[in-house]
Amino acid sequence: MASLIVLKRRIGSIRNTRQITKAMELVSSSKLRRAQAAAQSSRAYREFAYELLARLNQIREVERQPLFRKRPVKRRLYVVITSNSGLAGAYNANVLKLLAQDIKRDQAASVKSSVITIGNKGVQFVRRLADVEILAHYPAFGDEPSEGDIQPLLASLVENYENANVDEVRLLFTDFKSSLTQVASELALLPASVELAETPDTKPASSFMNFEPDVETVIANTGIRLVQVQIYQALLESLASEHAMRALAMKNATDNANDLIEDYTLEYNSARQGKITQEIAEISGGAEALNG
């Protein structure tokens, strides 16, 4: 049985840790409400962007645009969204596991893999992978990312794809379903194409669309904008997922701390009671010895 001093120190240390985890839980819960509202409010815009992108792919002229041109995949670029810090449960592990599976599949198919990381946890993981090139690294964009923050990333993706340095770009992020459910997901960014469900009434987009100043200019500018929308929404979904998973992880840590404090307090009281009983027995024995 540990000494009373050791037990008392353990209880004090766990209480200090519990204060930290409880504070982190409250902070993450507060940030989660804002992040969740931001992610949900822009989902309708993302769905509209998907629909527009799908309709643009019906236009014949789209094949001449660099961002829409499909090529045999010899080099694939992954954009991975992680966090700068840990203590968020399996938030980083899930998306990095998905990345590892994709890279393994690429190596089996003799496809070269490159990675652009967002967040320090991502770059720390990718540096340990063999035969994987890190094209760029961006720190996490904070709790309120703006579209201007992702402009350097967007410009890099567009440049690499238009110059044929990569043949496909895929985005790996964590999709926020609810406060209890977050799913590591993968999204094809480039070439800019989305399948549109066909119906008997489906007509080519060019038959009911007018373009000003011309089709090529509209497609070129719209393509970049729609890719930007997908990246921005993925950042919002990942941010909400990170706060949700960190709040849950810190709640579990706080509950575990409470259980440990109860166990150690019980052990401390038992040890203290045993020591008191021993001291009483020694006093009683000494008194009897003196009377005898």
CATH number of the domain within which 54 lies: 3.40.1380.10
Residue 150 lies in a domain: yes
- pTM for the full predicted model: 0.81
Residue 172 lies in a domain: yes
49-68, pLDDT tens digit by residue?
777 777 766 676 666 677 77
In 103-252, DSSP assigns E strands to 112-118, 132-138, 168-176, 182-190
Residue 28 lies in a domain: no
Residue with the larger pLDDT of the pair 135 and 220:
135
Question: In the predicted model, is pLDDT for residue 242 greater than 70?
Answer: yes
DSSP H helix total and E strand total for the chain:
6, 5
176-219, pLDDT tens digit by residue?
998 888 999 998 888 876 554 443 444 444 444 665 666 666 67
Residue 137's SS3 state is strand
C-alpha torsion angle, residues 79, 82, 83, 85 (rounded to 10) = -120
Residue 76 lies in a domain: yes
Give the chain's domain count: 1
Residue 6 lies in a domain: no
DSSP state of 84: S
